[in-house]
Structure 1
C-alpha cells in the first residue's frame, strides 16, 4: 500500500478531497481537515478503522479490549458537532487507542498482569479525560508486557503482540500493542507510557513518531501506582509529526514549554475555520551525536542508518558534532536503573497487595525482579538516586554547549516476539537491557525526546533515532522533527498485512 498524495510539511495532503486511500490510512490531521471540509464524517472514519481492526487485529493481537458500540455513538455526536460548526477541538471525532496501563472508565486495565485481570477503573486517567474533552474517541485498549517493565509485549493474560512489519518479531515494549495499532492502521493515534524508553523504542521498531514529554509537561492523575516515580510519562504515538504535536498539546492542557504558538486551541464555538498551527522550523542548531556508549554493541544496520541521519541533519544546516556518550550513562544503566526498577516493583506490590500477594500469578522474570527489589536496601536506593543527580549535572553541562542530542533509539532490531530480549547484538552477548541502553537515562533526567523513523534495514524493517532536548525543549524538538520529516518523509510506508 502506498500513499499517492504529496505530503506537506505540516502533515496534511494536497489531495484530501479526492484521496483514493481508505480513511484508516489518513493521519489525524487529514481526518480533521476532511471533517471540516465535509468530505468525510467521524462516523465513516470510525467505521473504516473498525473494519481495519477486525481485519488485522487477529493477526497482531494488539487491541485487547474494545468499546466500538459506545465509540459509534460518540462518532455520531461528533459528526453533528462538525455539521453545526461547533467541534470541541480540531481533533473532534478522531479515533485513538489507549495503552492498557492507562485507566479508561469501564474498560479493563490489566497492566498485563493476572493480578489486575479483573480491574475496571471507575474514572479515566487525566490524559484520557483531556483527549475525550477534545472530542477524540477511544476505541480500545492495547496490549503490554507484565507491569510494563520489559522491552517486548507478551503476558500471561493476553499473550504476545507481534510486529506488523514482520509478524515473527516483537514490536518492542512496553507500548507494543499501541505501536502495532498505529503502524497497521488501527487508528491514527495511540497514547502510551514511557518510563525507560517504552514509547521511543517500540516506535523505532515500527516506523512511527513517538514523543516522550519532559517531566511535568503532561500531568498524571487518577492513574495506576507509580513503579518508576517521576520517570514514567504519557505521550503520543502517531505517523506524523503534526499529529504528535497536536495531541501533545491536548495532553499538556493547551500549550508546550517554550511554545510560541497558540497551542492549537480553537476559537470559541461556533467556528468554521479550523486552524492547525504550523511548527516553526528552527534556526541552525548545535546537535551532539552519540552513536554509541563505549562497550555497548549496536546493530550495524542501526548504526549505518543513524549515521545517515546525522549527515541529513548536517545537510539541513545544523552543526552535528559526533562524540562518545558519557561514561556515566553506562553507569546509570548498570548501577541505578536495576535498583530503581526492582525496588519500584517490590514497593508497589507490597503497598497494593501486602501479605495477600500471590507471586505465582506472575511470570518467573517478574517474580525474580520483585525478589531482587525486596533484597535491596535504603542505602542502595540512596546511592542510585545520587548517581542520577550526578548524571543530571553532566547532562546539564552538555546542554550548555549543545541544543539537542542525537542517538539511536534502540541498539537492536526487533527479535522473536515471545523472547523478552535479544541474546546478542552485533555478534556480542547482551543482557535483558542490552537493546535499551539509549533511553532510560532520558526518563531519569526528566528530559523531552522524540523518536523519528530513519532509513529501514535492507529487508524493510524500520529503524528509528531519537532527538533529546534539555528541559522545556518540546517545541524545539517538534520543529526540528517537522523539518526533518519534510525533507525525508515516511508516512507513505505501510506494512503488508
Structure 2
C-alpha cells in the first residue's frame, strides 16, 4: 500500500472521483510529509496550512457534488519562489525582496487556482534564479533527496527536491537556461521547458531574462506532466497519450557541445538511451551542434544574465550590500556592459534561432544529456571539474541554454532505470529531447512511450536512510 503522499495526480483524481479518498486526507498527508522531511532538504520556504486545508475542503465538496473544476481539483501543487502567488511571499531568493507579498497570482498560477489545484507551498531558489544550484541567505541550502550531501541543481532545486521527496506530486517552476530540466535530471523527475509563449504569462516579477524564461511543469510521470500542462497551456488540450504512437523520428544525438567535457556516468547512460530509442524504431545518428550553440554559451549568456540583473536592480543603487557576493559581482559586471554588448548578445541569440531552424530541416528531434556533470556538494555553486577537466560556472549547463535562446520545447526524462552501475551511487541521470517550436505534444508522446518501456517512477529516494556528513559528524 502506498502512503497518500506517494500518489500521483492521476491516482488522486481517480480516488476523489470514486469517493475512496478526499482532498482533505490527501492534503493532510502531504503536509505531514513536509513536516517530516523538509527540515532535512530545505525545499519549501513558505506554506499556509490553513489556506491549503480550506481549499481542500472546498474541493472535497465539489467532488461530492460531481462538479470538479478539472482533473487537478484537489491536487497539491507547489510553486517556485520567483512566481507570484496571492497571499504568499515571493522573495526571489534575495534579501532585497524579503518583504515582497504580491496581491495577484501570476497568470499560470491563476489558471491552476481556477482548475481547483491546491497551491500550498513556495519552493526554494538561488538568488534571482541565476545560478545552477539552490541556496540563498534567506532560506539556506536545498539538498538532493537522493543524497543530502549533494545539490538538486538549480534554479528549480526546491521544486524538484519537494516532488522527489513526496511533498506534493506536482510543481510549477521556471526555466530560463535549463532551470527545470537540469534539476529534474538530478532528482529522477520529468520536466518540460515549453515552447516560448505556449504558457501565457502576466502579473509576474520583472523580466530577468527577456525572451528566454518560461514557466513549465515538473512531475513524476509524463501523464501527470500532461495533466498540468493542459491547464497551463491552452493549446495543449489536444494531447492524447492513448493515441497511436507517432511515426519513427529522425533523432540527432549531440553527445557533447564543441568538445566540452561530460562525466562518464552521464555519457554512458545517455548512450544507452540512444540504443533504447533506436530499438523503439527511431532513426538515431550522432551529429554536431551548430557552432552558434557553443558561442551562445560562451559569449551571449554571461551578457544577458548580467545585464538582466542590472536592469531589474537599476533603481536599487546602494543596496548592493544585501546581495550575495556572486550576485554583487554579476551586478557590477552588468553595469559595466554597454548597449553594444547587449545588442551583440541578442544578435547571437537570433543566430541560434536561425541555426536551429536549419537543424530541424534535417532532423525531427535532438537527444542530449540534460547535464554535463553529476550533482556536486550542495553548498557549492558549481563543479570546478568535469571528467577531469577544469570548467567554469556554466560548464555543467552547456546542453540547455540554446533551447531557451531558440524558443524551443525540451523534455527531461530519467535515463537510469536499472540498478545503479558501479560508481553512480544510485543517483538519477537525465536525458533531454528537444524539438522544433510547437512540438511540445510530440515530445510528451515520445516521452510517454519511452517511460512505458523503461519505467522509473516507482523508484524513490530512501530519504530516511541518508544523512549529510555534517549531521553525522555533529550527532
Helix, strand or coil for the counterpart of 1:435? helix
Instruction: Please report the TM-score for the alignment, with normalisation by the length of structure 2.
Output: 0.95
Match of 1:493 among 446, 452, 459: 459
Matched with 2:249 is 285
Matched with 2:108 is 127
Matched with 1:442 is 403
Deviation track 1:200-230 (CA, whole Å, cap 9, x = no partner) reads 0000000000010011100110000011002
Helix, strand or coil for the counterpart of 1:451? strand
Is the contact made by 2:190 and 2:225 (CA closer than 8 Å) also made in structure 1?
Answer: yes
Match of 2:362 among 390, 401, 415: 401
Helix, strand or coil for the counterpart of 1:335? helix
Match of 1:324 among 277, 282, 288: 288
Instruction: Please report the TM-score for the alignment, with normalisation by the length of structure 1.
Output: 0.91
Matched with 1:44 is 25
Matched with 1:478 is 444
Partner Cα distance (2:229, 2:168) in 1? 16
1:139 is the counterpart of 2:120:
yes
Q: Which moved more, 1:177-186 or 1:68-77?
A: 68-77
Partner Cα distance (1:390, 1:173) in 2? 26
Residue 40 of structure 1 and its aligned partner are, at CA, apart by 1.1
Partner Cα distance (2:219, 2:114) in 1? 20
Is the contact made by 2:47 and 2:121 (CA closer than 8 Å) also made in structure 1?
Answer: yes
Instruction: Summarize the alignment of residues 270-349 of structure 1 with structure 2, pairs less than 5 Å apart.
Output: 278=242, 280-349=244-313
Partner Cα distance (1:166, 1:243) in 2? 25
Residue 388 of structure 1 and its aligned partner are, at CA, apart by 1.5
Matched with 2:326 is 365
Residue 295 of structure 1 and its aligned partner are, at CA, apart by 2.7
Partner Cα distance (2:284, 2:391) in 1? 29
Unaligned runs of 5+ in 1: 1-19, 263-276
Is the contact made by 1:199 and 1:237 (CA closer than 8 Å) also made in structure 2?
Answer: yes
Match of 1:425 among 357, 361, 386: 386
1:235 is the counterpart of 2:216:
yes
Residue 280 of structure 1 and its aligned partner are, at CA, apart by 4.9
Partner Cα distance (1:136, 1:280) in 2? 30
Partner Cα distance (1:47, 1:261) in 2? 32
Partner Cα distance (1:221, 1:280) in 2? 36
Partner Cα distance (1:388, 1:158) in 2? 34
Is the contact made by 1:291 and 1:325 (CA closer than 8 Å) also made in structure 2?
Answer: no
Q: Which moved more, 1:104-113 or 1:319-328?
A: 319-328
Q: Which moved more, 1:380-389 or 1:444-453?
A: 380-389
Matched with 2:58 is 77
Partner Cα distance (1:65, 1:395) in 2? 40
Matched with 1:208 is 189
Helix, strand or coil for the counterpart of 1:218? coil
Partner Cα distance (2:217, 2:242) in 1? 18
Is the contact made by 2:77 and 2:169 (CA closer than 8 Å) also made in structure 1?
Answer: yes
Is the contact made by 2:226 and 2:239 (CA closer than 8 Å) also made in structure 1?
Answer: no
Matched with 2:467 is none
Matched with 2:469 is none
Residue 261 of structure 1 and its aligned partner are, at CA, apart by 4.3
Deviation track 1:208-265 (CA, whole Å, cap 9, x = no partner) reads 0001001110011000001100211110000000011111110113x32xx6448xxx
Match of 2:69 among 73, 88, 92: 88
Is the contact made by 2:190 and 2:413 (CA closer than 8 Å) also made in structure 1?
Answer: yes
Matched with 2:473 is none
Residue 126 of structure 1 and its aligned partner are, at CA, apart by 0.6
Partner Cα distance (1:447, 1:66) in 2? 33
Is the contact made by 1:447 and 1:468 (CA closer than 8 Å) also made in structure 2?
Answer: yes
1:218 is the counterpart of 2:199:
yes
Deviation track 1:123-152 (CA, whole Å, cap 9, x = no partner) reads 111111000100000111000000000000
Residue 401 of structure 1 and its aligned partner are, at CA, apart by 1.1
Partner Cα distance (1:241, 1:232) in 2? 22
Partner Cα distance (1:328, 1:415) in 2? 28
Residue 49 of structure 1 and its aligned partner are, at CA, apart by 0.7
1:185 is the counterpart of 2:166:
yes
Residue 354 of structure 1 and its aligned partner are, at CA, apart by 4.0
Partner Cα distance (2:429, 2:290) in 1? 23
Deviation track 1:444-475 (CA, whole Å, cap 9, x = no partner) reads 11000110000165310010011011011010
Helix, strand or coil for the counterpart of 1:54? helix
C-alpha root-mean-square deviation of aligned residues, in Å? 1.2
Matched with 1:391 is 352
Is the contact made by 1:279 and 1:482 (CA closer than 8 Å) also made in structure 2?
Answer: no
Partner Cα distance (1:143, 1:281) in 2? 37
In structure 2, relative to structure 1, the CA distance for the partners of 1:279 and 1:225 (3 Å cut) is farther
Helix, strand or coil for the counterpart of 1:400? helix
Unaligned runs of 5+ in 2: 464-475
